[in-house]
Amino acid sequence: MTDKELRKLKRGELLEMLLETVRENDRLKAEIEQLRERLESREIILKESGSIAEAALKLNGVFEAAQKAAEQYLENVRGGADV
């Protein structure tokens, strides 16, 4: 709407336009807040999944070491039985 068209509007019409603009602004602010919360939630999930992946890798290393120790133990037991 041009400046000239705005000047021709009555006070009530201008107030209604202003009220509509304020409502839209409030709606957009609420939507932005919801989107921020969703983004923060996803960031937390990504951080946690990274931590879980790291923990899984560390556990995998522990399991590998335990497997090697068990294999070495069995070799020693079998070797001692042969003697």
Tell me the one-letter amino acid at 17: M
CA distances (Å), origin 1, targets 4, 6, 28: 8, 7, 22
Identify the pLDDT of residue 82.
54
The pLDDT confidence band at residue 83, using thresholds 50, 70 and 90, is: very low
> Rounded mean pLDDT of 4-23?
91
* The pLDDT of residue 24 is above 70: yes
* The pLDDT of residue 4 is above 80: yes
Number of domains in the chain: 1
71, 79 contact by CB (below 8 A): no
Domain extent, residue 63, equals: 3-82
> Rounded mean pLDDT of 15-37?
95
> Rounded mean pLDDT of 52-70?
84
